[in-house]
Amino acid sequence: MSGMTGLALRSLRHRMTAQVATFLAVLLGTTLIGSFATLVETALALGPAAPDRDADRETLIIMGAVVGGWGSLIVLFSVASTVGLTAARRAGEIGLLRVLGATPRQARRLIRREALAVAVLGALAGAVLAAGTGWLLLDLLRGHSVSASVEYAAGPASLGAAAGLVVLTSVAAAAVAARRSTRAPAGVTLRDSDAETGRMRWYRVVAALVLIAYGVGGGVVTITVTANSDDPYAAMQTSGSCSILVGLGLALLAPLLLRWLAAPLAGLITGLGGQGAGYLAAYNARRRAHRLAAVLAPVIVLTSAAIGTLMLVSIDTRTLPGGTEDSDTINLLNNVVVGMASLFAAIMVVNAFAACVADRWAELRRLWLMGATPTQVRRSVMAEAGVVAVVGLVFGALGSLATVIPFSVARDEGVVPDAQLWIAPLVASVVVLLTLGSGRFAARATMRTALGEVRRPAT
Amino acid sequence: MTAPPVPFALEAQGLTRTFGAGTGAVYALDGVDLGFPRGTFTAVMGPSGSGKSTFLSCAAGIDRPSGGRVLVAGTDVTDWDEDRRSRLRRERIGFVFQDFQLMPYLTAEQNVGLPPRLAGRRPDRARVRGLLDLVGLADRAHHLPGRLSGGQRQRVAIARALVTDPAVVLADEPTGALDSATARDVLALLRACVDELGQTVVMVTHDPVAAAYADAVVFLADGRVAGRIEAPTADAVAARAAHLDDRAAHLDERAVRR
Ligand SMILES: Nc1ncnc2c1ncn2[C@@H]1O[C@H](COP(=O)(O)OP(=O)(O)O)[C@@H](O)[C@H]1O
Ligand SMILES: [Mg+2]
């Protein structure tokens, strides 16, 4: 046992860079979820004598539980995918350990403990930060959405719960990845780390379908039921989160989408004269869909959540110009959701891309050895970024419809909203810039490792 | 009257490569003059650290020599920039590595066709198939490297090295990761490249038996040429290699004692 832990800690030290993404994801995730959790704890601690106690309580709980809840879904998803990616990256090394005689159980334990160690560190730091950001969040609400007299009253309970949730998610994700990387016999593991066929597990497909069905169901309910409600916000409640749900569901299917679409897209990119770059990107995306899927997933969620929610706010302000007494809070809520989802997804895209490409430095060097110019090597990574951006935009936009169409119908604008349709291309261009930018960043950083040594000028 | 110059597929003139500077500088290559005539199979041997890999890297445009010249099929490539070196590697040099260096997400056939792809050409299907056939893997064309054995992977790598009909095939311990039976197949294949395709092969090896497949063996020691055997037998090679190893060990010992 302790030998295994020692090994885990040692291997952790050698893999610090690989764990940075996990650490950051856990840190930010805990900070975000923790901030909203403090609102709930503050609400529950409101004394009976507090003025406007019930109204404040309700606002804080809605804010904390609803916004925090949706946010948590995105955050936990991102944490899980990052941890999974890091654990999968260890597959080659794990294969070696197994050849040296480690049992599958030992190998799995190694991956889990490593994830646990990083997650606990990240979550502790995140909880400390969340105490501060939670206070700031409350301060932002005070005087607008809740009475100025509400006192910040959160502590270990909410922060601990948030940290615990993130740690649990991380360890579960690591366990799933560990199972995947140790399923085959030892020798095979070593080889498959090169090109895993990466079939999707059934529970992943089921989870994806449930999320999509739930999101589409919300849309249907919006059109058929809540559209007719007297409360103008009823339709928003049922449709607001649909784009996030469908986006998450599609993101879970990312490996599948890549496998289907990489080939035709690659044809397109190769046709543009990538000198083999598009060709390489296509086959890499298709045959190792699981790795690039870690980049694609946040792109889909980002696109879907951002287009969906921004269009929702746009339709809302157009069709309800005066607003109601709740409008301020509701707009703030929506903006917080968009901001949070975008920030998090953006960080994930950069992280996942960097991790995914850094892991392939030996392979990029191989291309160069085979006679690819440095420009071609970089282009092959950029072509992958292109594939991710296109697939992500298409499915992200599709996911956003789950919110946009029902809400637009509910507010009598018809299937297509009346104005501000430029939101979609605007979000799209931001996403493309983000994806290509992080691809470029990842390629640069990795090529320094891959080609640096040999390109050093003669001494 | 001077004899007409021998058409060398690969030639090194006064090749040096140093690592580091000042007193700590290591002379990985220290004035190597070697010519490899077209259509010959040459083995390069020498103690570990004698500069064999550095020599192949400099010849292939992977590494840059610190001094001297490299001529590929008579063309001086020493001062070529990075992009031209890349083109050199994919058009004029076939490189076979100890660890295969196949792209894991491309099938055997696609790996073989990669150099022309990188040159922006669609690989000649018949040629790729013909090469896979030559290396005995026609039935494995659609397998990913992960599903091939070590020997099969190395044969794919050899087919890839031949695909552009390069000026010279360079192999750095191509049998180093293979068992002896598989190694024999790979060596016979390299021999066939020379005998049947008229290729020029330069192969680094540690194994006297492998070296005996070559037409000649060149010995390197401390970055210098330390001898040559024509029409080598395994025994002759082993004797000479043992002598060089002893000398290297002796030098090491002296260095330690000092
Ligand atoms: N990148 C490098 N940096 C510093 N020294 C190197 C480097 N590559 C090779 N060397 C040194 O150059 C010498 C020759 O190395 P190498 O050509 O790999 O030997 P061989 O292949 O014959 O075993 C060795 O002393 C080695 O330590
Ligand atoms: Mg060597």
User: pLDDT in tens for each of the 258 residues of chain B?
Assistant: 556 666 899 999 999 999 988 888 899 999 999 999 999 999 999 999 999 999 999 999 999 999 999 999 999 999 999 889 999 999 999 999 998 999 988 999 999 999 998 888 889 999 999 999 999 999 999 999 988 999 999 999 999 999 999 999 999 999 998 999 999 999 999 999 999 999 999 999 999 999 999 999 999 999 999 999 999 999 999 999 888 877 777 766 655 555
Q: What distance in Å separates residue B254's CA from the closest CA in chain A?
A: 28
Provide the β-strand partners of residue A142. Answer: A146
Residue A426 DSSP one-character state: H
Residues in A touching B87 (Cβ below 8 Å): 371, 373
* Short-list A136, A168, A218, A145, CA closest to A30: A168
Q: Which domains does chain B have, with CATH numbers?
A: 1-92+169-175+199-253 (3.40.50.300)
- Cα(B59) to ligand 2 centroid in Å equals 14
Give the tokens for residue A252. Answer: 């879970």
Domain ranges of chain A: 1-188, 201-459
Residue corresponding to tokens 């895993």: A196
pLDDT tens figures, A371-389: 998 888 888 888 889 889 9
**Helix axis angle, A423-455 relative to A374-410, nearest 10°?**
160
Q: Distance between CA atoms of A423 and B65, rounded to whole angstroms?
A: 56
pLDDT tens figures, A73-88: 877 887 887 787 777 6
B142: exposed, middle or buried (Cβ count in 10 Å: 0-12, 13-18, 19+): exposed
A370 touches A217 (CB < 8 A): no
pLDDT tens figures, A53-73: 888 888 888 888 877 787 788
Q: What distance in Å separates residue B66's CA from the closest CA in chain A?
A: 5
pLDDT, residue A34, reads: 93
CB contact under 8 A, A372 and B101: no
- Cα(B252) to ligand 1 centroid in Å equals 16
* Short-list A124, A23, A32, A24, CA closest to A71: A32
Q: How many helices (H) and strands (E) does chain A have?
A: 18, 0
pLDDT tens figures, A1-50: 445 566 665 555 555 656 777 888 889 889 989 998 999 999 998 888 87
Q: Distance between CA atoms of B36 and B201, rounded to whole angstroms?
A: 9
Mark which residues 147-176 of B lie under 8 Å from A by CB: 147, 160
CA-derived radius of gyration, chain A: 23
Helix H or strand E encompassing A377: helix A374-410
CA A171 to each of CA A129, A415, A452, B28: distance values in angstroms, whole numbers, following the listed order: 22, 43, 36, 48
Give the position, in ligand 1's atom list, of the atom nearest the Cα of B54. 17
Q: How many CB atoms lie within 10 A of CB A11?
A: 17
Whole-model pTM: value is 0.79
SS3 A422: coil
pLDDT tens figures, B4-19: 666 899 999 999 999 9
What is the phi-psi region of residue B151: left when phi exceeds 0, alpha when psi lies from -120 to 50, beta otherwise?
alpha
Which of B19, B91, B105 is nearest residue A284 as measured by Cβ atoms?
A: B105
Band (pLDDT 50/70/90 cuts) for residue A454 is: very low
Give the position, in ligand 1's atom list, of the atom nearest the Cα of B46. 22
pLDDT tens figures, A132-189: 999 998 988 887 778 888 889 888 999 999 999 999 999 998 888 888 777 655 544 4
pLDDT, residue B85, reads: 92
Provide the β-strand partners of residue B69. Answer: B13
> What percentage of chain A reaches a pLDDT higher than 70?
85
B10: exposed, middle or buried (Cβ count in 10 Å: 0-12, 13-18, 19+): buried
Q: Distance between CA atoms of B156 and B101, rounded to whole angstroms?
A: 10
**Helix axis angle, A254-271 relative to A277-287, nearest 10°?**
170
Q: Distance between CA atoms of B59 and A355, rounded to whole angstroms?
A: 34
Ordered DSSP codes for B149-176: -HHHHHHHHHHHHHTT--SEEEEESTTT
Residues with CB under 6 A from ligand 1: A 453; B 19, 26, 28, 46, 48-54
Residue A146 DSSP one-character state: B
Residue B3 DSSP one-character state: P
ipTM summary value = 0.87
Give the tokens for residue B186. Answer: 């790979």
Ordered DSSP codes for A28-67: HHHHHHHHHHHHHHHHHH--TTSTTHHHHHHHHHIIIIII
pLDDT tens figures, B53-92: 999 999 999 999 999 999 999 999 999 998 899 999 999 9
Give the tokens for residue A79. Answer: 């944490």
**pLDDT above 90 (res A323):** no
Q: Distance between CA atoms of A436 and A417, rounded to whole angstroms?
A: 30
Average pLDDT for A394-405: 96
Q: Distance between CA atoms of A406 and A413, rounded to whole angstroms?
A: 10
Helix H or strand E encompassing A133: helix A104-141
Which of B25, B86, B105 is nearest residue A371 as measured by Cβ atoms?
A: B86
Q: Distance between CA atoms of A349 and A79, rounded to whole angstroms?
A: 12
B30: exposed, middle or buried (Cβ count in 10 Å: 0-12, 13-18, 19+): buried
A315 touches A298 (CB < 8 A): no
Give the tokens for residue A414. Answer: 């018809």
Any A CB within 8 A of B177 CB:
no
Average pLDDT of chain A to the nearest whole number? 82
Which of A192, A286, A376 is nearest residue B118 as measured by Cβ atoms?
A: A376
**pLDDT above 60 (res A242):** yes
Any A CB within 8 A of B110 CB:
yes
CA dihedral A401, A406, A412, A413 (to 10 degrees): 0
CB contact under 8 A, A363 and B91: no
